[in-house]
Amino acid sequence: MSAAANPIAESLLAFWADAGVDAMLLDEPLDRIAAGRIAPPAPAARKVAAAAAPAPSPGRPAQPDVSAVVAQARTLAAQAETLEALSAAIAGFDGCPLRFDGAASQAVVWRGDAAAPLMVIGEGPGQDEDRQGQPFVGRAGQLLDKMLAAAGLSGRVMITNTVFWRPPGNRTPTPAEQAVCAPFVERAIALVQPRMLLLVGGASAKAMLNKDEGILSMRGRWHEWRSADGAMELPALPTLHPAFLLRQPAAKKRAWADLLTLTERLDRPERPAP
9 and 3 in contact (C-beta within 8 Å)? yes
Whole-angstrom Cα distance, residue 44 to residue 21?
10
Q: Over range 174-195, report the average pLDDT.
A: 97
Confidence of residue 120 (pLDDT cuts 50, 70, 90): very high
Q: What is the pLDDT of residue 53?
A: 35
User: pLDDT averaged over the chain?
Assistant: 83
**Residue 186 neighbours by CB under 8 Å, 6+ apart:** 77, 227, 228, 232
Please, which pLDDT band fits residue 52 given cuts at 50, 70 and 90? very low
Q: Are 220 and 259 in contact (CB under 8 A)?
A: no
With residue 103 as reference, give the H or E element that holds it. Answer: none
Indicate whether 34 pLDDT > 60: no
In DSSP notation, 205-255 reads HHHHHT----HHHHTTS-EEEE-TTS--EEEEEEE--HHHHHH-GGGHHHH
Max mean pLDDT range (36-45, 63-72, 258-267): 258-267
Q: Could you tell me which residue, 50 or 140, shows the higher pLDDT? A: 140
Range list for CATH 3.40.470.10 in the chain: 66-266
CATH fold for the domain made of 66-266: Uracil-DNA Glycosylase, subunit E (3.40.470)
pLDDT for position 71: 96
SS3 162: coil
Work out the angle at residue 173's Cα, subtended by the Cα atoms of residues 187 and 204, and round it to the nearest 5 degrees.
55
Q: For 193-250, how does the pLDDT look when each residue is reduced to its tens digit (9 = 90+)?
A: 999 999 999 999 999 999 999 999 999 999 999 999 999 999 999 999 999 999 999 9
Q: What is the mean pLDDT of the segment spanning 30-35? A: 52
pLDDT for the residue numbered 101: 84
Average pLDDT value for residue range 265-274: 76
Of residues 265, 262, 144, the one with CA closest to residue 200: 144
Q: What is the mean pLDDT of residues 166-192?
A: 96
- pLDDT for 54-111, tens place per residue? 444 555 555 557 899 999 999 999 999 999 999 999 999 999 999 988 667 689 999 9
Mean pLDDT of 99-124: 91
Residue 179 has pLDDT above 90, yes or no: yes
Rounded to an integer, what distance in angstroms lies between the CA atom of residue 221 and that of residue 48? Answer: 50
> pLDDT tier at 2 (50, 70, 90 boundaries)?
very low
- Looking at residue 269, its pLDDT comes to 81
Query: What pLDDT was estimated at residue 124?
Result: 96
For the sheet containing 111-112, what is the strand order? Answer: 111-112, 157-161, 118-122, 196-200, 233-239, 223-226
Q: Which residue type sits at 259?
A: L
State the sign of the Cα–Cα–Cα–Cα dihedral 98, 99, 104, 110: positive
Who has greater pLDDT, 66 or 152?
152
Rounded (10°) CA dihedral 130, 132, 133, 139: -70
Measured between alpha carbons, how far is 208 from 189 in angstroms, rounded to an integer? 12
With H, G, I as helix, E, B as strand and everything else as coil, classify residue 274: coil
Determine the Cα–Cα distance for residues 109 and 86; give it in Å rounded to an integer. Answer: 9
Quote the CA–CA distance of 119 and 160 in Å, as a whole number: 8
Question: Residue 149's pLDDT band (boundaries 50, 70, 90)?
Answer: very high
